[in-house]
Amino acid sequence: MKHIAIYDTTLRDGAQGEGINFSLPAKVRIARSLDEFGIDYIEGGFAASNPKDMAFFDEMKNVRLKHARLTAFGSTRRANRAADQDPGLAAILQTGAPVAAIFGKSWLLHVEKVLKTTAAENLRMIADSVAWLKQHGKEVFYDAEHFFDGYLDNPDYALQTLQAAADAGADALVLCDTNGGRLTSEVARITAEAAARFPRVVLGIHTHNDAELAVANSLAAIEAGAAMVQGTINGYGERTGNANLCSIIPALALKMKARLACGPQLAQLRSLSLLLDEIADLRPPKNRPYVGESAFAHKAGMHVDAIGKISQSFEHLDPAAIGNERRILMSELSGASNVRMKTGEMGLVFQKDSPAIQDILHRLENMEKHGYAFESADASFKLLVQKVLKKHVPFFELQGFSVVVQKDNAESKATTVATIKISVKGQTELTAGEGEGPVDALNDALRKVLRRFYPAIDSVVLEDYHVRILNPETATRATTRVLIDSSDGREHWGTVGVSENIIEASWEALVDSVEYKLFLDEQRRQSGGQ
């Protein structure tokens, strides 16, 4: 398979996604990360659109990229204006970026109704803009906006726009499904026809995901002759997003055996995906293909049994290849195989017909009947195993707690004070804590006691708190399930609590979170780890 160039437009097209706003330092950090991963081209922004993009290009003049080539985005010159008098093209030069990507119209609908110019002038706009940038020493990519829609409307004219760019010296012709609505069969056929028409020019593909076909369309275009693929990390982008490079890259490298500059860093793909979500302040969807937390998660007992025998029976590739990992989920659908594999992660080895496996399974099934959900609460399940096997030694024991919420008047802010009484290492401790709410106050009080005995508890951060009402038809008497996500900077874990009282359910999940941290530290000490 030939080499495929990866062109990232997260900083420009991706930043147009709803709710995404990268600061200048964030953009520089992202560019460095993309470069380290091995991305070939990094589109930094629209040169003439806003001061922040120009500030980014100025900042990048002091950053030395190891591999990637920085690209400035812009449009063809305006109608009836010389290229050397066009402010947009001048802004591209001002960025100092070695590569210029300019878009132009290939659909007569846009030429006549949006630009309000003639078909002939549009061709001159394309040719003049490409030629002028080439004269100034730039590598130039021509993005044929709405190419597939334009081709289906008037194939001769759409191809003429490509010809104008090619004749002017464009280094690549990028076919864009700007509206994101074309079918894969259409993209494949039209790309093949363009590849036959321009055999000596690099063809690129740029798709949007409005019909949820952006990844499929990109891969089909590569098979049809394109040698450059444009997209964004995690599929960020306007409307429903751009083609997701986190799906395209592993598909190209592992399934289509393409040569990619980022191939040697493929095991860092999940980390790159998570980094971008962190910078964008977005919660990573668990079901994201390849890099999502659930991408290699197995719940059904028969699936888990097969995975234990041969991984490829229910996994389309080795999750470690892209930096992900297999997860065995525990639920009412679990079988003995799930329990054996999950306890195996804890260093416990049982035969398939072991009474201990059945005891754990029965306890799990009984608790799930009462509303517990362990598939997102691995830590609570592991503590449950310890309890069933009678190996659990509590690090502390509750003797009681009280929570007081007070609101002095209609305008005042409610305050919460929690008092707890617990036994720790033979000592009885009574203390109070304050917080924004009952759970926060309980957490504060618990930590005040425990940090004197277990200083490492200060490293635990409660990252998320979920509340689910299980039987809303019972109104205020409904059973509540609380899930807490925690981290100590090295590990992440989930815990669960269930009760008709939301405070009690929260306390149960909170205690499991703290106990699991202490359990982890104890295991590390016993194994000689740090």
Residue 484 lies in a domain: no
pLDDT of residue 469: 81
Residue 309 lies in a domain: yes
Q: What is the tens place of the pLDDT at every residue in 403-423?
A: 999 888 888 888 899 999 999
Distance between CA atoms of residues 469 and 450, nearest Å: 31
Residue 436 lies in a domain: yes
**Last residue in a domain, options 212, 247, 280:** 280
Distance between CA atoms of residues 164 and 217, nearest Å: 25
pLDDT of residue 298: 67
Helix (H) or strand (E) holding 459: none
Does residue 204 share a domain with residue 141?
yes
**Residue 322: domain span:** 297-369
Does residue 167 share a domain with residue 311?
no
Does residue 336 share a domain with residue 448?
no
Residue 376 lies in a domain: no
State the total domains in the chain: 3
Distance between CA atoms of residues 98 and 118, nearest Å: 31
SS (HEC) of 311-366: HHHCCCCCHHHHCCCCEECCCCCCCHHHHHHHHHCCCCCCCCCCHHHHHHHHHHHH
Does residue 196 share a domain with residue 323?
no
Does residue 308 share a domain with residue 264?
no
CATH number at residue 429: 3.30.160.740
Does residue 114 share a domain with residue 203?
yes
Distance between CA atoms of residues 374 and 59, nearest Å: 47
- 3-class DSSP assignment, residue 228: strand
Number of residues that make up the chain: 530
Does residue 134 share a domain with residue 185?
yes
What pTM value is reported for the model?
A: 0.71
Single-letter amino acid code for the residue at 312? Q
CA distances for 139 relative to 132, 169, 222, 260, 332, angstroms: 11, 9, 21, 20, 58
Does residue 353 share a domain with residue 301?
yes
Residue 474 lies in a domain: no
Does residue 69 share a domain with residue 96?
yes
Cα angle 177-182-183, degrees, rounded to a multiple of 5: 135
Residue 410 lies in a domain: yes
Residue 489 lies in a domain: no
Could you give the strand order of the β-sheet that contains 480-487, starting from the edge strand earlier in sequence?
461-469, 480-487, 492-499
Does residue 301 share a domain with residue 154?
no
Beta bridge partners of 480: 469, 499
Angle of helix 336-344 relative to helix 355-369, nearest 10 degrees? 110
Does residue 339 share a domain with residue 267?
no
Distance between CA atoms of residues 258 and 222, nearest Å: 10
Residues 6+ apart with CB under 8 A from 51: none
**Last residue in a domain, options 253, 280, 307:** 280
Residue 92 lies in a domain: yes
Does residue 247 share a domain with residue 128?
yes
- Per-10-residue mean pLDDT for the chain, 530 residues long? 93 93 91 96 88 91 94 94 93 96 94 90 96 97 97 96 97 97 97 96 97 98 98 96 97 96 94 89 86 73 61 75 74 63 71 78 79 79 86 88 89 90 90 89 91 90 83 74 87 89 91 90 72
Q: What is the tens place of the pLDDT at every residue in 144-198?
A: 999 999 999 999 999 999 999 999 999 999 999 999 999 999 999 999 999 999 9
Q: Can you list the alpha helix ranges (DSSP code H) found in 350-498? A: 355-369, 378-388, 438-453
